[in-house]
Structure formats: C-alpha cells, structure tokens
Amino acid sequence: MTIQKVLVIGAGQMGSGIAQVCAQAGFDVKLNDMKEEFFQRGLTTITKNLSRNVEKGRMTEDEKEQVLSRITKSLDLNDASDVDLVIEAAVENMEIKQSIFKQLDEITPKHAILASNTSSLPITEIAAATNRPEQVIGMHFMNPVPVMKLVEIIRGLATTDEVYTSIEEMTKKLNKVPVEVNDFPGFVSNRILMPMINEAIYTLYEGVATKEAIDDVMKLGMNHPMGPLQLADFIGLDTCLYIMEILHDGFGDSKYRPCPLLRKYVKAGWLGKKTGRGFYEYE
C-alpha cells in the first residue's frame, strides 16, 4: 500500500515533531489539534527547528519553505476523510485514544492505516474500538522526534503483515530505524527505562545518595548522557508515574510499584522541567 497523505493528531511536542519528519520526507501532512492556538504553537516549533537546520547548513531556505508548504492546518477530525495514514499523538489516556480511533474508523477511507504514538498503552485494546483492528498499529517515536532515530513499531493482536510492512517501509523513508515489538505493557523502551528511573527515585527516597550523586554515577559509570533523575524531570514526573502504573497494573508484579516519593512530587505539582521544579529546579 502506498502512503502519501498523513494526518497527525496532536500538535504538541511529539505530534509537531512527527509532522515535521513526515513533511521533510515528502509526505503531505495535516496537523490536527482541537484549537487554533495549539496548532500555531506546534507550527512555530516546527519552523524554529527547520530554521536551526538552515543556520547549520543542513538545508536551504527554499527547502525549509517546501517542507512548511506540505503541512496544512486541521481543526476537525473529518479532515481524515482522504488520508492513507493517521498517526495519533494525543494525551496518554486509553478512553481518549479509543474515542479518537472509533471516530477515525468511521471517517477515514477503508484502506487507511490507524497508528498510535502511545508510549505504553496496549495497541490491541486501542484497536478494539475500531472495525479494522488488522489495520491498527503502534508507532512509538522517541523524543525529540526530529533527532532520535528509533521508532518502536508495535503489532496489535490482529495487525496484518501487510500493514506492518507498509509502516516499516514508511519509517525508513522518515530516515528512522524501525524496530518490531510485540504488544506488552511499556513495549521495550519504557519497560526497561521506567523501572530504572523508579529505582533511582527509590535510591534517593531511601537516602542512599544525593540526587546529584545518583545522576553522576549513571552518567560517569554507565556512560548515560543524562542521569535518571534529570531525565525523569525532562520526561515529566506525571508521565513517569503514569507509565509505572501501567506496568504495575499490566504485569501485577511488585517490582513495578511506583516509588512513594514519585507520587508525592506529582501530588505537589512538581512535575519536572515543564513546571519549573521536579528533582531539580529550572528557570
């Protein structure tokens, strides 16, 4: 199946990044969000990213304008009526995602593939909201999307080989590296990453070392570019807690129990970089 027209749902950090790489690869992209201001904020981010590429000599001003010309505004899900692929990057909530996919199933052409950028929710459960579960798949991009090479491609229970192959080929056109993953809570990336972050928080909670010391051990001893506590701040502590709860619920294993200190910070509104305070303080 040939993919040319793409609708991306959600103009936030992930959605705008996905729209950018799709447009850069030559796809016609509709960037959808609920409000004009959300779309404009996403477009501003894309424009800044592309301008930086021009400054660094990675693309010309003309190429930048061509990329931007391939991105059009969408404030209505009915704009999905003529696309080949939808990539949903809305909030990480099963009810919201199922509602979106139920609508998309009715709006999109019969051949269209419906993909979710979920970082942890089961693709099979999302697909169950549609009458085409065989055409539903996970495309978990990494943040920041324009920079990070990996895309976890997650098969639902019913996803066909043909749909998987189409998405794998498209991912390569985006200059990304597709990795096939089966549908388990947290997939591969977050099933390994989040317990590590959670254990770092326990290490702080139990007074084993200071936050700076914990991060230094992982940076200098394990060659991680960023310490786990600082990384948690960048991801968002609410997101970390949510994914740990999905792992805990999904596997029923106490090793995934979220650290009480993580819960306390989230309840305090200390969500990390986006709120100015998490394990560290930000200007």
57 is in an annotated binding site: no
SS3 letters across 186-222:
CCCHHHHHHHHHHHHHHHHHCCCCCHHHHHHHHHHHH
Residues 6+ apart with CB under 8 A from 266: 237, 238, 241
Give the span between the Cα atoms of 116 and 137, in whole angstroms.
7
143 is in an annotated binding site: yes
Q: Of these residues, 119, 120, 166, 198, which one is catalytic?
A: 119
DSSP 8-state code for residue 142? P
CA distances from 85 to 50, 116, 213, 219 (A): 24, 11, 46, 39
Query: Residue 24: how many CA atoms within 13 Å on its side-chain side?
Result: 24
17 is in an annotated binding site: no
Give the span between the Cα atoms of 183 and 123, in whole angstroms.
6
Q: Of these residues, 74, 140, 166, 198, which one is catalytic?
A: 140
Active site residue 152: yes
80 is in an annotated binding site: no
92 is in an annotated binding site: yes
Nearest in space to 166 (alpha carbons), one of 95, 113, 101:
113
My answer on whether omega of the bond before 109 falls inside 30° of 0, hence cis, is: no
156 is in an annotated binding site: no
Active site residue 116: no
15 is in an annotated binding site: yes
At 140, is the secondary structure helix, strand, or coil?
A: strand
Give the span between the Cα atoms of 30 and 23, in whole angstroms.
10
Active site residue 119: yes
Tokens of 231: 């990384």
252 is in an annotated binding site: no
Q: Of these residues, 16, 152, 166, 198, which one is catalytic?
A: 152
274 is in an annotated binding site: yes
Q: Of these residues, 49, 116, 120, 190, which one is catalytic?
A: 190
What is the Cα 162 distance to its own chain's centre?
23
Q: Which residues are annotated as part of the binding site for NAD(+)?
A: 10-15, 33, 92, 97, 119, 143, 274
Q: Which residues are annotated as part of the binding site?
A: 10-15, 33, 92, 97, 119, 143, 274
Residues marked as catalytic: 119, 140, 152, 190
